Amino acid sequence: MNTETTETATRAGRREWIGLAVLALPTLLLSLDMSVLHLAVPHIAADLRPSSTELLWIIDIYGFMIAGFLVTMGTLGDRIGRRKLLMVGGAAFGLASIGAAFATSPAMLIGARALLGVAGATLMPSTLALISNMFRDPRQRGTAIAVWMSCFMGGMVIGPVVGGLLLSVAWWGSVFLLGVPVMVLLLFTAPALLPEYRDEHAGRLDLASVALSLGAILPVVFALKEIAKDGPALGTVAVLLVGLGVGLAFVRRQQRLAHPMLDLGLFRNRTFAAALCIMLVGAITMGGVFLLISQYLQLVAGLTTAQAGLALVPQAGAVVVGSMIAPRLAKRIRPEFVLGFGMLVAAGGLFAFTQLDSGNGVVLVVLGLSVAAFGMGPQGVLCTEMVVGSVAPNKAGAAAAMSETSGEFGIAMGIALFGSIGTAVYRAQLPADAPTAVRESLAGAVNGGDPALLAAARDAFTSGVHTVAAVAVVVVVVFAVVGMVALRGKSRPAVESAGSAESAKVVDEPELAVR
């Protein structure tokens, strides 16, 4: 077969693009589910009357389960089939959504949210792995990933609007029922529109590796969240060390297995490792800065929760725009330069936060976030394409899972690290005689009723934002340069090799002719 025929055969046709619309459904749903919950929290608290600890678990358990099971589900999809895993996860997500909607106690809602997290962990790597298999042409794959990411961010934009409308006319459980018709549609359309892929030579899933991965990821994510809330207490640090120790045991086991759950050899691929690292850094900086800016809008600028949510909508739209233009720019300019210059633009947006004052800086926040989000859009799309496109098709599930896990870890690390920096500056800038409640958080000053102390606390918090933003700017600029150097002249994806393509067998391709 000549080169021209091979290139034609790898290009996606109409069925693949229709299939992409199907894959966008669970992606849109997951972002909707995350964005509407916070609006429902006051209604849940009033109805179910959870304790403060139970309420935190209602919010956090979903993210814990997603982070813990992403690697497992990504590699499981490689073994049993990515479409099959997507459909099983979709059905489970729909059933768990019904359970959450009609929960009658905090424990029941926590359990349903945990099941939603496990099911959600099947959806993201499955959709991304299927995209990487369906769109073998690098340019088409970049566009498909941009659409996929834009749907996720689109859900973040419309989530508060849809959630607000539902909560104004129905009970809090209605926000969970959004997922049911979406998953029913997915289950009906997926068999006809999505081909089945699996690795015929993957071997059996090693249950000990599954246990070790959960024993590593869950304690680390939990510890990072606790450090962000309460600082590095002895017990929290111990939990973090336990997670890291179990993680080391997981790595050693993968090195000994003939068919490891996670192929650590992927990290020897320079493109894969560099792109994954840049994604991690992007999630760390944006996750940490976003935390403080959200608090600034409500506790310093004085916006309500709904007003703050609306102020954050433009940045989600900016990500969509940045994501969609990235593949087009990458056709004319080398991808690493598009990525690097986009990160420099993002650094400019983050720099705006160093100019905030303790008055009303809402306009500057909206502009800064929008510029930063626009600049980070290309980074997300191009790095994701590099991660899934630089490995063989039979490893697409594991690569997609690593891509998603880096984002989850990055956000948790960003909240812990930048939150700790901001808190340290905040406390250092407070008057020496400030009450303990005020030193704990700015919310203590807001609820304290002392105007002079509140003004001082807001100035101190704003100083913390300045410091965090300055650190974020430096980090983003450094990694923009590192990314352009490390990804310079990146090799073509491994999907081009015939041997790799054969091992990622198309098990069931309904009426899908080879083009």
Residue 493 has pLDDT above 70, yes or no: no
In whole angstroms, give the CA distance from residue 62 to residue 12: 35
Of all residues in the chain, the percent with pLDDT exceeding 70 is 91
| Ranges of H-type helices in 49-173 | 52-80, 82-101, 106-134, 138-169
What pLDDT does residue 509 have?
A: 52
| Ranges of H-type helices in 194-231 | 207-230
Residue 135 has pLDDT above 80, yes or no: yes
Residue 502 has pLDDT above 70, yes or no: no
Q: pLDDT grade, residue 366 (50/70/90)?
A: very high
Average pLDDT in the chain? 83
Please report which helix (H) or strand (E) contains residue 508, including its range.
strand 504-508
Q: pLDDT grade, residue 149 (50/70/90)?
A: confident
User: What angle (nearest 5°) sits at the alpha carbon of residue 231, between those of residues 229 and 233?
Assistant: 120
Which residue has 């990411």 as its token pair? 149
* 79-83, 170-174, 225-229, 260-264: least confidently modelled range: 225-229
Q: Confirm if 294 and 312 have CB atoms less than 8 A apart.
A: yes
Residue 146 has pLDDT above 70, yes or no: yes
Q: Which residue has the higher pLDDT, 154 or 489?
A: 154
Tens of pLDDT, residue by residue over 378-426, are: 988 888 888 888 777 777 788 888 888 888 788 878 888 888 888 889 9
Q: Which residue has the higher pLDDT, 344 or 401?
A: 344
Q: Burial letters for 479-499: b for 16+ Cβ neighbours within 10 Å, e otherwise?
A: bbebbbebbeebeebbbeeee
Residue 303 has pLDDT above 90, yes or no: no
